[in-house]
């Protein structure tokens, strides 16, 4: 006589399938271009408060984007997190994201910090601003991005290369604000004023200013914030020698960018994905996320760290950030014409 009847086997199979379905329904898979240390504690809080398991994969932004494209319908990714509106636009153009209609996200995130078609949403803000050598430059000498093309800065500026997406987005914003012709003139003047050929990352530029290699640079504020929060003596010496200046405060304001997220086109856990992005824009999450990353919240009136408060108030360029991605190709071509290597 068989140990199990067909009915018993059917019930056992059904129970197993049900268990697997329930397990799958209580998870969400995140592909993140942000390092695990900068996001996992927040994901752990989401797990604790919702019971939804978050599976995290980190990597380079372009590599993760390509991976999602190759995986297609078989991709386990539910959320794609990356930095810079230019990269978010690449994800949109690649067709890997789906629109979501969330009243919470619309309420928490200003319209210019999210995609017009609801394909991606800002999670934090960073300014690409001017940093200067305190011993050689007085704040009264500074005014705008445009001013950096003037002769007084000849041989005094350090920059990252034109391959850098942050510089591309800054140029994309200037194309929108002052036109391509004036932006090209500006870019040529800026390159003429370089102290050395473009090389290195934002932190390298800040260190070059501190070391006297140049007197001015452009960098994202969170790189300076990391140096401020560092216990390394050399990093603290850089902070002591370098000042932060908010440009264009008499007109459009300082250039801002974001880190952001979107729900993938073939997300298997769509509702969980939306819940997670909503959670990341809550007041508590925004305060933590901004403090850990030395970035500004997207949520109005969210708590800002002491370090960020020390930089003072500023006027931000209100440009819709999807424009940065839409103008990216024109920005790259313009930088090439200007001789920005």
pLDDT for the residue numbered 17: 40
Q: pTM to 2 decimals?
A: 0.87
DSSP reduced 3-state for 214: coil
Give Cβ neighbours of residue 301 (< 8 Å, ≥ 6 apart).
Answer: 283
- Token readout for 19 is 């268990």
Matching CATH number, 28-125+257-305, of 3.20.20.140, 3.40.190.10, 3.20.20.70, 3.40.109.10: 3.40.190.10
pLDDT for the residue numbered 10: 55
pLDDT for the residue numbered 217: 98
Q: Say which residue the tokens 């789906």 belong to.
A: 98
Q: CATH 3.40.190.10: which residues of the chain?
A: 28-125+257-305, 127-255+316-338
The pairing of beta strand 53-58 with beta strand 27-32: parallel
| Residue 153 burial (C-beta neighbours within 10 Å; 0-12, 13-18, 19+) | buried
pLDDT (tens place) for every residue of the chain, 341 residues total:
444 444 444 544 444 443 444 445 789 999 999 989 889 999 999 999 999 999 999 999 999 999 999 999 999 999 999 999 989 999 999 999 999 999 999 999 999 999 999 999 999 999 999 999 999 999 999 999 999 999 999 999 999 999 999 999 999 999 999 999 999 999 999 999 999 999 999 999 999 999 999 999 999 999 999 999 999 999 999 999 999 999 999 999 999 999 999 999 999 999 999 999 999 999 999 999 888 888 999 998 898 888 889 999 999 999 999 999 999 999 999 999 999 99
Compute the distance between CA of residue 239 and CA of residue 230 in angstroms, rounded to an integer: 10
Task: Please say whether the beta carbons of 222 and 49 come within 8 A.
Answer: no
Listed residue (327, 337, 335, 11) closest to 172, CA to CA: 327
Listed residue (304, 300, 267, 298) closest to 280, CA to CA: 298
Find the length of the chain: 341
Listed residue (71, 77, 63) closest to 31, CA to CA: 77
Compute the distance between CA of residue 140 and CA of residue 48 in angstroms, rounded to an integer: 50
Name the region of 60 (left: φ>0; alpha: ψ -120 to 50; beta: rest): beta
- What's the CATH number for 127-255+316-338? 3.40.190.10
pLDDT for the residue numbered 24: 53
């Amino acid at each position: 006589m068989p140990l199990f009847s067909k009915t018993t086997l059917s019930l056992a199979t059904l129970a197993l399938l049900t268990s697997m379905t329930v397990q799958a329904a209580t998870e969400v898979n995140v592909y993140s271009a942000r390092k695990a240390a900068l996001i996992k504690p927040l994901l752990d809080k989401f797990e604790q408060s919702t019971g939804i398991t978050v599976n995290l994969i980190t990597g380079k932004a372009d590599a993760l984007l390509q991976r999602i494209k190759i995986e297609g319908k078989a991709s386990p990714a539910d959320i794609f997190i990356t930095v810079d509106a230019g990269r978010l636009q690449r994800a949109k153009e690649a067709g890997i994201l789906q629109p979501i209609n969330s009243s919470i996200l619309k309420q928490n995130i200003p319209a210019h910090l999210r995609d017009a078609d609801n394909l991606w949403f800002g999670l934090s803000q960073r300014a690409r601003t001017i940093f200067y050598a305190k011993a050689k430059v007085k704040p009264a000498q500074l005014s705008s991005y445009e001013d950096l093309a003037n002769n007084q800065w000849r041989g005094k500026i350090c920059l990252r290369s034109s391959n850098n997406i942050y510089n591309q987005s800054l140029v994309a914003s200037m194309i929108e604000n002052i036109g391509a012709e004036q932006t090209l003139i500006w870019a040529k003047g800026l390159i003429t004023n370089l102290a050395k050929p473009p090389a290195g990352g934002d932190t390298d530029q800040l260190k070059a200013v501190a070391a006297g290699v140049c007197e001015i640079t452009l960098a994202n504020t969170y790189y300076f914030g990391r140096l401020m929060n560092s216990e390394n003596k050399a990093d603290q010496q850089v902070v002591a020698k370098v000042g932060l200046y908010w440009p264009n405060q008499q007109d459009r304001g300082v250039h801002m960018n974001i880190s952001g997220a979107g729900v993938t086109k073939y997300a298997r856990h769509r509702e969980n994905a939306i819940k997670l992005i909503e959670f990341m824009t809550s007041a508590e999450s925004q305060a933590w996320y901004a403090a850990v990353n030395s970035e500004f919240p997207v949520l109005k009136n969210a708590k800002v760290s002491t370090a960020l408060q020390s930089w003072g108030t500023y006027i931000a360029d209100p440009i819709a950030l999807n424009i940065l991605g839409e103008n990216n190709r024109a920005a790259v071509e313009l930088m090439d014409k200007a001789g920005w290597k």
